[in-house]
Amino acid sequence: MATKIAPPLGRERVLQFADDSLRRLQTDVIDLYQLHAYDEGTPFEETLDALNTLVEQGKVRYVGSSNFASWQLCKALWIADLNGWAPMVSVQPNYNVAIRDIEAEVLPFCADQNIGVISYSPLGAGFLTGKYTKTWTAPEGTRFDVMPDHWDIYENDASMRRMEGLREVAADTGISMVQLALAWVIGQPGVTSVLIGCRSKSHVDQAFQAEAMGLAQELRDRINALG
């Protein structure tokens, strides 16, 4: 069982939020307690000390992070090692065919330091499902309709090129964009697990089908080359 806390990440708030989560989740221990983002406004030592307290109290088994840069992960490991505190064991980044920033530093760092990578948004909040084109209007009720600011992440030439390239691969192979996108990220080197957001049973089925299908190396290489 995992949960996250967003900034601010002062000691008292970190401790209280964990207690609140335990109560809401109706459990005695959180398996993985994650920082949703790095907090520039709080000394990192204070935050990590609070996380270690939770581990020592038996309320949390492991601590992790989300949306951390490689230098932030490195700093977390260094401070924890220096003080004998519980180390970060995972990071939760946005990673999919369209958004591949973590390949430059985060993935290599995590592989070197044995940090788990639990990627989220494998379909790019719907961007990689085939709903969208270069000239688009967000369908009513979709993520980009409800949260238009989220579009800023994907409104760039690289993401558009990768999305259109994935569409071409789907057309050539007869495999849906959804299955291609899921199978690609599930099988990427360095990815430990993938978070799937599902609104229906069919979404769950698609995820299992993609995992079972895998992705031929030729197709993986072609998608990787969309660069």
Number of domains in the chain: 2
Residues 54 and 131 in one domain: no
* For range 211-227, the mean pLDDT: 92
**Six-digit token string for 224:** 């990787």
The per-residue pLDDT for range 108-160, each reduced to its tens digit, is 999 999 999 999 999 999 899 988 877 666 667 777 777 777 778 888 899 99
Residues 124 and 192 in one domain: yes
Provide the pLDDT confidence category of residue 208 given band limits of 50, 70 and 90: confident
Mean pLDDT taken over the chain: 94
Residue 59: inside a domain, yes or no?
yes
Residue 108: inside a domain, yes or no?
no
The per-residue pLDDT for range 63-82, each reduced to its tens digit, is 999 999 999 999 999 999 99
Q: What is the CATH number of the domain that holds 52?
A: 3.30.70
Residues 56 and 141 in one domain: no
Residue 104: inside a domain, yes or no?
no
d(CA 152, CA 171): 27
Residue 98: inside a domain, yes or no?
no
Residues 139 and 178 in one domain: yes
Residues 83 and 142 in one domain: no
Q: Are 206 and 175 in contact (CB under 8 A)?
A: no
Residues 134 and 173 in one domain: yes
Residue 103: inside a domain, yes or no?
no
d(CA 204, CA 144): 21
Residues 227 and 130 in one domain: yes
- Work out the percent of the chain whose per-residue pLDDT is above 70: 98
**What predicted TM-score, i.e. pTM, was given to this entire model?**
0.93
What does the chain come to in residues?
227
Residue 33: inside a domain, yes or no?
yes
Residues 79 and 126 in one domain: no
Beta bridge partners of 83: none
Residue 113: inside a domain, yes or no?
no
134: left (phi over 0), alpha (psi -120 to 50) or beta: alpha
Domain residues for the domain of 172 are 120-227
d(CA 162, CA 38): 29
pLDDT of residue 137: 67
The per-residue pLDDT for range 30-40, each reduced to its tens digit, is 999 999 999 99
pLDDT of residue 214: 85
Residue 4: inside a domain, yes or no?
yes
d(CA 164, CA 191): 24
The per-residue pLDDT for range 77-122, each reduced to its tens digit, is 999 999 999 999 999 999 999 999 999 999 999 999 999 999 999 9
